Amino acid sequence: MHKNKQLVRTIGWAFLILLIVFLYLIFWPRHYSVQSEATEINSRFWHLSTGSTIGYTYISSTAKDTQVYPIIYLHGGPGGAISRRVIDDLKPLSNDGFDLYFYDQVGSGASGRLNDISAYTVQRQVDDLNEIITKINSGKVILIGQSWGAILAAAYLSMHPEKIDKIIFTSPGPIYPINDAEINTPAPDSFRLRAPLYTNKAANESSTNIRVKAISFFATHFGIKIASDKEVDEYANFLDAKSYKSALCDTSINLANRGNNGFYAGIMTYKSILQMKDFREKIRSSNTPVLILKGQCDNQSWGATNEYLRLFPNHKFVLIPNAGHFINVEQPEMYIREISNFLLP
């Protein structure tokens, strides 16, 4: 009997210790080693009626004759941010007469974080963009949508087509809900597409931990934050520093410190993307002129890009050789040349 009591006591203590360790791993804040954010980016602010505080950079036209419609750049993610590099790479368009706007979507970069993380939705991003266009007061705008930014541009077009002059989709993410037959469409052999050496999945698996999994679970299932924005945004930057190689053909390129990512904006907006109503019929056969750029080793499937070609008959498509998901990084001259040629009469 004494031995049984001792065994029960030992098991009880072992269970208690394991429970304490488990709770510690889940609830004790963590720190991630990342470079400091580029604070000089997007130091102007719009305060929108949606409740969003949006950090942005404005570059005015340097040409004698300014183009009628300005350009708004939509960054990837969701939860990504504007980088100094993308501003510099697109700045030459100001010499062509275009006013340029670069903004961090709500919850990322220099923009404000939301207390109610369930408010990070595709519709919130569309509404923010719509008010930004109203503030610019140009009637129409030209959108450049990178990756998730392409999805946002397409969603915006489905709701406000009268405000769009042209769209440039660069490395576009898939239209949701995913069309399984479309997404698995093979690319023409003549394109000689190449898979990137690294994958986002591998970066996620090597970077995650039980606390991050718990944070994501409580956020996506209950809309609850069990970690500060500071901690999880630091993790998002840490993950970005590992995953960016999946977006390049040449993995020797160093893209550290690309911007201050927004973790909650990323996972909650992605949850909203998965719940989107199908808007294909609203944009199908749209006469909006679009340019679609895809890198030879883009990490997005060919089927995703091909659907944009099918949905937008008034398109120009350019396959960029020796470039991955970040075309502007590996082929900056071709990137800006194709955009400029498309936009100028």
Tell me 207's DSSP state. Answer: H
Tell me 285's DSSP state. Answer: T
164-170 vs 44-47, strand pairing mode: unpaired
Element (H, E) at 327: helix 327-330
The top-level CATH class assigned to 44-343 is alpha beta
Tell me 109's DSSP state. Answer: T
The ranges assigned to domains in the chain are 44-343
The two tokens of residue 274 are: 């998965």
Element (H, E) at 337: helix 332-343
The whole-angstrom separation of Cα 336 and Cα 111 is 27
Distances (CA, A) of 111 to 40, 47, 218, 273: 13, 10, 23, 21
What are the φ and ψ backbone dihedral angles of 294, each rounded to 5 degrees? -140, 135
Report percent pLDDT > 90 for the chain. 81
Q: Using alpha carbons only, how large is the chain's radius of gyration in Å?
A: 22
Which among 20, 87, 24, 94 is positioned nearest to 57, based on CA atoms?
87
What's the pLDDT at 190?
Answer: 95
Distances (CA, A) of 284 to 6, 230, 305: 72, 41, 15
Which residue stretches of the chain have pLDDT < 50?
A: none
CA atoms within 13 A on the CB side of 76: 18
What's the pLDDT at 254?
Answer: 87
The whole-angstrom separation of Cα 82 and Cα 104 is 6
- Strand boundaries in the chain, DSSP class E: 44-47, 53-59, 71-74, 100-103, 141-146, 164-170, 290-295, 315-320
